[in-house]
Chains A and B, each alone.
Chain A
Amino acid sequence: MKKSKLQSKRTTCTPDPQLIGEVQSVLRGRIFRGDVPAELHGLDEQKRELLDLIKRCAQYGESNSVLLIGPRGSGKSLLVKTILEELSKTKGVRQNMLEVNLNGLAQTDDRSALLEITRQLQLENTVGDKVFGSFAENLAFLLDSLKSGGQESQSILFILDEFDLFTNHKNQSLLYNLFDVSQSAQTPLCVIGLTCRLDVVELLEKRVKSRFSHRQIHLFNSETFEDYLQVVRSVLTLPSNFKDRHFVQTWSSHIKELLEDREAQAVLKQQFSITKDIRSLHRLLTIPVCSLSQDHPFIEPKDLVDAQTKLGVDCKAAMLCGISVLELCLIIAMKHLITIYDGEPFNFEMVYKEYQKFAQKKGFTVQSFEKPVVLKAFEHLTALEFVKSIDSIAKNTPKEYRLVTLLIDPIQINDALQRYPDCPTEVKQWAMSAIV
Chain B
Amino acid sequence: MAANGGFLGYSKDSLQNLYSKVICRKIEIDTLLSLLGDRKSYSCPAIFVCGHTATGKSFLVQTLLKDLELPHVLVNCVESFTARLIFEHVLYQLQDSDKEDDLTASPKCDNMTDFLRHLKHNLLSKDLANETFYIVLDKAERLRDIEANMLPAFLRLQELTQLNICVILLSQIVWEKFQVGTGFYEPIVMHFLDYSKTEVLQIMARDCPATYPEEFFKAYCQLLMSVFYSVCKDLNELRHLALLHFPKYCEPITSGEAQLTDSRKLWRNIEPHLKKALHTVYLREVSSNQWENIIGQDTQTGCENLPGQGISVRSHIELPYYAKYLLIASYLASYNPAHTDRRFFTKQGRRGLSNRAKAAAKAKKSNTQLTGPKNFQLDRLMAIFYSIVEENVAPSANILCQISSLVSLNLLAQITSDDQIDCPKYKCLVNFLSISEIAKQLQFDIVQYLYDFV
Binding site for B on A (CB under 8 A): 21, 24-25, 28-29, 32-34, 72, 77, 103-109, 112-113, 115-116, 119, 129, 164-165, 196-197, 279-280, 283, 286-287, 290-291, 293-295, 311, 313, 315-316, 318-319, 321-326, 347, 349-350, 353, 366-367, 369-370, 372-373, 376-377, 383-385, 395-398, 400-401, 421-422
For the complex, is B35 an interface residue (Cβ under 8 Å from A)? Answer: yes
Beta-carbon contact of A322 and B193 below 8 Å: yes
Beta-carbon contact of B35 and A295 below 8 Å: no
Query: Looking at chain B, what size class is its interface with the partner chain?
Result: 35 or more
Beta-carbon contact of B232 and A396 below 8 Å: no
The distance in angstroms between the C-alpha atoms of A367 and B232, with both chains bound, is 13
The distance in angstroms between the C-alpha atoms of A165 and B184, with both chains bound, is 13
The distance in angstroms between the C-alpha atoms of A115 and B197, with both chains bound, is 57
Which of A34, A353, A372 sits near B283, CB closer than 8 Å? Answer: A372
Residues of B within 8 A of A324 (CB): 229-233
For the complex, is B415 an interface residue (Cβ under 8 Å from A)? Answer: yes
For the complex, is B369 an interface residue (Cβ under 8 Å from A)? Answer: yes
Q: A108-B147, A319-B51, A401-B372 are in contact. List 13 more A-B contacts (CB 8 A).
A: A28-B41, A32-B45, A77-B159, A108-B112, A116-B113, A164-B182, A279-B185, A315-B175, A322-B193, A353-B370, A384-B173, A401-B373, A422-B197
Q: 28 interchain pairs (CB within 8 A)?
A: A28-B37, A32-B45, A72-B182, A105-B160, A106-B113, A106-B153, A108-B111, A108-B112, A108-B149, A113-B113, A283-B186, A286-B188, A287-B35, A293-B2, A319-B174, A319-B191, A322-B55, A322-B194, A324-B229, A325-B230, A369-B231, A369-B278, A373-B231, A373-B283, A385-B177, A396-B415, A397-B427, A401-B371
A376 with B283, Cβ < 8 A, contacts A28-B41, A32-B45, A197-B182 known: yes
Binding site for A on B (CB under 8 A): 2, 4, 7, 31, 34-35, 37-38, 40-45, 50-52, 55, 111-114, 116-117, 121, 147, 149, 152-153, 156, 158-160, 172-177, 182-186, 188-189, 191, 193-194, 196-197, 229-233, 278-279, 282-283, 285, 312, 369-373, 413, 415, 427, 429, 431
Beta-carbon contact of A286 and B152 below 8 Å: no
CB B357 to nearest CB in A, in angstroms, measures 26
Q: Which of A105, A286, A350 has the largest count of B CB atoms less than 10 A from its CB?
A: A105
Which of A34, A105, A321, A350 sits near B194, CB closer than 8 Å? Answer: A321
The distance in angstroms between the C-alpha atoms of A28 and B186, with both chains bound, is 16
The distance in angstroms between the C-alpha atoms of A315 and B191, with both chains bound, is 7
Beta-carbon contact of B191 and A318 below 8 Å: yes
Beta-carbon contact of A33 and B42 below 8 Å: yes
Beta-carbon contact of B176 and A315 below 8 Å: yes
The distance in angstroms between the C-alpha atoms of A371 and B133, with both chains bound, is 48
Which of A106, A196, A286, A376 sits near B112, CB closer than 8 Å? Answer: A106
Beta-carbon contact of A280 and B4 below 8 Å: no
CB B274 to nearest CB in A, in angstroms, measures 13
**Chain B interface, >50% SS class:** loop
List the A residue with the shortest CB-CB distance to B159: A34
The distance in angstroms between the C-alpha atoms of A109 and B110, with both chains bound, is 12
CB B365 to nearest CB in A, in angstroms, measures 13
Beta-carbon contact of B41 and A291 below 8 Å: no
Number of residue pairs spanning A and B whose beta carbons lie under 8 angstroms apart: 173
Residues of A within 8 A of B183 (CB): 72, 196
Beta-carbon contact of B42 and A28 below 8 Å: yes
Beta-carbon contact of A291 and B34 below 8 Å: yes
Beta-carbon contact of A29 and B42 below 8 Å: yes
Which of B41, B188, B282, B372 sits near A400, CB closer than 8 Å? Answer: B372
Residues of B within 8 A of A21 (CB): 38, 41
List the B residue with the shortest CB-CB distance to A28: B42
The distance in angstroms between the C-alpha atoms of A319 and B177, with both chains bound, is 13
Which of B232, B278, B312, B372 sits near A349, CB closer than 8 Å? Answer: B372
CB A57 to nearest CB in B, in angstroms, measures 24
Residues of A within 8 A of B193 (CB): 318, 321-322
Beta-carbon contact of B312 and A372 below 8 Å: yes
The distance in angstroms between the C-alpha atoms of A412 and B415, with both chains bound, is 38
Beta-carbon contact of B158 and A33 below 8 Å: yes
Which of A32, A347, A397 sits near B43, CB closer than 8 Å? Answer: A32
Residues of A within 8 A of B51 (CB): 319, 322
List the A residue with the shortest CB-CB distance to B232: A324
The distance in angstroms between the C-alpha atoms of A34 and B312, with both chains bound, is 59
The distance in angstroms between the C-alpha atoms of A271 and B191, with both chains bound, is 20
Residues of B within 8 A of A119 (CB): 117
Beta-carbon contact of B196 and A421 below 8 Å: yes
Which of B158, B160, B177, B232 sits near A103, CB closer than 8 Å? Answer: B160
Beta-carbon contact of A294 and B4 below 8 Å: yes
Residues of A within 8 A of B429 (CB): 397-398
List the A residue with the shortest CB-CB distance to B175: A315
CB B150 to nearest CB in A, in angstroms, measures 9
Beta-carbon contact of B231 and A377 below 8 Å: yes
List the A residue with the shortest CB-CB distance to B149: A105
Residues of B within 8 A of A286 (CB): 35, 44, 188
